[in-house]
Amino acid sequence: MNSKNSSKVYSFRPHPWHGLPPGEKSPKVVTAYIEMTPFDGIKYEIDKSTGYLKVDRPQLFSSLSPTLYGFIPQTFCGKRVAKLAKSAKTGDQDPMDICVFSERPITRSEIILPARVIGGLRMLDRGEADDKIIAVLDSDPFWADVTDIKGLKPHLLKRLEHYFLTYKQIPGAGERTVKIDAIYGAKEAYTVIKAAIEDYAEEFS
């Protein structure tokens, strides 16, 4: 093997959250670990202890995630992320969530991909900061000219908003526990990701 051209080779499968880097070009282009696709009627999420993908629950209603959905490795929603949200009591103590648009259907989860960050949703869930970074598949020519949330078609953004505002809501169960405080562009998204990387470094140093 030519050492000049070789990248890091793992002897064992790394933990998707702790063992993979957030991306050499982060925060502009990050590595996204995908837990769910737009075709999943089941809510999957990473098991924090083992790194395996586990079944959380069936989707409560007929709406499905409009994008690929997962997280950015080696990020953590802690005090720095919560401070950016201002009205948040704390971060949700999870890795930073990311939604990735792809023009061609990607039906597999438990994959990694390069995601070009274009913005985010400042979401609060029961008072905890639960931001959703919005990105496009960096290697997808269809999205080549989109570098900020302003370049995203409004109806696609509306789909994301509707999904996250309703995916936990049970009819007749009282007030909604999730709210979106703001929609922000790429520059603010970079700040959020940097904060999440710093929160991770402190939490798991």
Task: Say if 18 falls within a structural domain.
Answer: no
* Confidence (pLDDT) at 2: 46
Instruction: Identify the CATH number of the domain in which residue 192 sits.
Output: 3.90.80.10
> Stretch 92-102: mean pLDDT, rounded?
97
Q: Domain count of the chain? A: 1
pLDDT tens by residue, 152-171: 999 999 999 999 988 776 66
Nearest C-alpha neighbor of 75 from the set 52, 54, 92: 92
Contacts of 68 (CB under 8 A, 6+ apart): 32, 34, 36, 37, 38, 99, 100, 101, 102, 106, 113
pLDDT tens by residue, 16-56: 999 999 999 999 999 999 999 999 888 899 999 999 999 98
Q: In whole angstroms, what is the distance from residue 41 CA to residue 200 CA?
A: 30
What global pTM score does this model have?
0.92
Question: 77 with 91: CB under 8 angstroms?
Answer: yes
* Confidence (pLDDT) at 7: 67
pLDDT confidence tier of residue 1, bands split at 50, 70 and 90? very low
Residue 94, both tokens: 């999870």
Using only C-alpha atoms, what is the Rg of the chain? 17
Task: Say if 41 falls within a structural domain.
Answer: yes
Would you give the DSSP letter of residue 197? H
* Confidence (pLDDT) at 150: 96
Task: Say if 196 falls within a structural domain.
Answer: yes
Task: Say if 62 falls within a structural domain.
Answer: yes
Domain range for 126 is: 29-203
Task: Say if 9 falls within a structural domain.
Answer: no
pLDDT confidence tier of residue 173, bands split at 50, 70 and 90? low
Q: In whole angstroms, what is the distance from residue 53 CA to residue 172 CA?
A: 31
Percentage of residues in the chain with pLDDT exceeding 90? 74
Phi, psi of 194 (to 5 degrees): -60, -40
Q: In whole angstroms, what is the distance from residue 143 CA to residue 194 CA?
A: 24
Q: Following DSSP, what letter does each residue of 51-82 receive, concatenated?
A: --EEEEEE-SSS---SSEEEE-TT---SHHHH
Task: Say if 149 falls within a structural domain.
Answer: yes
Task: Say if 1 falls within a structural domain.
Answer: no
Which of 85-99, 163-177, 190-204 ranks highest by mean pLDDT?
A: 190-204
Question: 102 with 140: CB under 8 angstroms?
Answer: yes
Nearest C-alpha neighbor of 129 from the set 157, 105, 93: 93
Task: Say if 192 falls within a structural domain.
Answer: yes
